[in-house]
């Protein structure tokens, strides 16, 4: 609800300690199910240090990342004496490998993601749109990855990249990512393949790319774009979010269908006459995507908004962990 507020007295203002709105994306019950499960890389990735993920490299990197304060047990050879001379405090030089896995979440914010089916799982009493569902998935993954001391970045996109926040593992980076997720809303048409080719060239080091999208694009173009990620040696995970209505087409009476990516475009249709052909197209689409991802060794994970996101994500993470640990 929009409102216009008159300036109030100091006591009317929210206290500085008020909980930030973006923390609503970290549902406590969901985090209880997810936070203790590791997200492990299935392919070698740059940034290895602790042994959690396999590295394609041997030895240490010479690419500086950031400083952190010296702690007992740190190798004195990593002390930055120049920083000590300036601040009279001991700092350790951290390198790229010491940020562990570098993950980037690719969140689809195109118009089709705004679809809100009545059969969707509910949050705060309202059924989740595909985008809201995807945003909760993204926020949960940010929490999991940062908790295991991995670096996380974010790309939001529709017809082009909207925001690109490079991977970081700093203490305040979670709030940066969650705030960006919270303020992002679905926008224009989809151009997945074009955007993915752009992202493949922007992400500098091999890492984990997590795509969260309804994947509405030409199948052939989409698979070529995913292949570009694998060509660049990235570990790729595709989280395919669709509404239950898109998967089952339960409509019975004449209905008006609106194009969420092209304003004003709508059709009056008889669902009964279209159901068989529509469901056949959906099966073909899903099968082609799953097969193509399998051939490229890309993790393909279908999500229906009907299933609570925390249960679906926890189940997948546990399954992935069991595969990596074998």
Q: 10-residue block means of pLDDT along the chain (326 residues)?
A: 40 62 90 83 56 44 63 75 83 62 95 93 93 97 91 95 92 93 91 94 90 96 97 95 94 71 69 89 96 96 96 91 70
- Residue 50 domain-assigned (yes or no): no
Q: What is the pLDDT of residue 80?
A: 82
pLDDT of res. 201:
92
In this prediction, residue 197 carries a pLDDT of 97
Q: Are residues 105 and 79 in the same domain?
A: no
Q: Same structural domain for residues 80 and 142?
A: no
Per the listing, tokens 């994970």 go with: 301
213 and 83 both lie in a single domain: no
Report how far residue 94's alpha carbon sits from residue 73's, in angstroms, rounded to the nearest whole number: 15
Residue 107 lies in a domain: yes
pLDDT of residue 49: 45
d(CA 294, CA 136): 26
Q: Which domain holds residue 74?
A: 64-97
Are 78 and 159 in the same domain? no
Supply the pLDDT for residue 68. 73
| Residue 13 is assigned to a structural domain of this protein | no
Q: Are residues 170 and 223 in the same domain?
A: yes
The predicted model scores a pTM of: 0.78
Is 261 within a domain? yes
Answer whether residue 20 is part of any domain.
no
Give the pLDDT of residue 239: 98
Within a domain: residue 21?
A: no
**What is residue 276's three-state secondary structure?**
helix
How many domains does the structure of the chain reveal? 2
For residues 195 and 288, state if they share a domain. Answer: yes
pLDDT at 98: 47
Shared domain for 76 and 158, answered yes or no, is: no
Nearest to residue 211, comparing CAs of 318, 100, 104, 53?
A: 104
Instruction: For residue 231, give both structure tokens.
Output: 């060509």
- Return all residues near 96 (Cβ < 8 A) that are at least 6 apart: 46, 47, 61, 63, 65, 102, 205
Distance (Å, whole) CA 251 – CA 30: 31
- Max CA pair span of the chain: 78
Strands (E), 109-160: 122-123, 126-127, 151-157
Shared domain check, 87 and 113: no
Q: Does the residue 320 lie in any domain? A: yes
Assess if residue 176 is contained within a domain: yes
């Amino acid at each position: 609800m929009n409102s216009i507020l008159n300036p109030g007295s100091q006591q009317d203002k929210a206290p500085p300690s008020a909980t930030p709105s973006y923390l609503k994306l970290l549902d406590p019950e969901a985090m209880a199910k997810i936070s203790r499960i590791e997200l492990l890389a299935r392919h070698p990735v740059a940034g290895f240090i602790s042994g959690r993920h396999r590295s394609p490299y041997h030895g240490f990197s010479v690419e500086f990342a950031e400083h952190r304060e010296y702690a007992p047990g740190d190798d004195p050879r990593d002390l930055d004496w120049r920083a000590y001379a300036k601040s009279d405090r001991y700092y350790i030089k951290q390198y790229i490998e010491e940020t562990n896995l570098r993950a980037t979440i690719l969140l689809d914010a195109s118009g089709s993601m705004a679809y809100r089916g009545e059969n969707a799982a509910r949050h705060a009493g309202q059924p989740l749109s595909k985008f809201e569902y995807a945003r909760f998935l993204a926020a949960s993954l940010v929490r999991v990855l940062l908790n295991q001391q991995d670096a996380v970045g974010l790309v939001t996109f529709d017809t082009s990249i909207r925001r690109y926040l490079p991977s970081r593992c700093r203490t305040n980076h979670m709030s940066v990512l969650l705030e960006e997720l919270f303020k992002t809303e679905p926008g224009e048409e989809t151009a997945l393949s074009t955007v993915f080719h752009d992202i493949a060239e922007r992400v500098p080091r091999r890492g984990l790319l997590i795509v969260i999208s309804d994947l509405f694009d030409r199948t052939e173009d989409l698979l070529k774009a995913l292949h570009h990620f694998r060509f660049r040696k990235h570990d790729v995970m595709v989280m395919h979010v669709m509404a239950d209505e898109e998967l089952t087409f339960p409509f019975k009476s004449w209905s008006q269908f609106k194009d969420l990516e092209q304003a004003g475009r709508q059709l009056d249709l008889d669902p009964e006459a279209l159901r068989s052909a529509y469901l056949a197209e959906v099966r073909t689409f899903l099968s082609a995507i799953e097969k193509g991802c399998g051939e490229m060794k890309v993790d393909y994970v279908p999500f229906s908004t009907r299933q609570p996101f925390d249960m679906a994500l926890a189940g997948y993470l546990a399954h992935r962990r069991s595969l990596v640990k074998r």
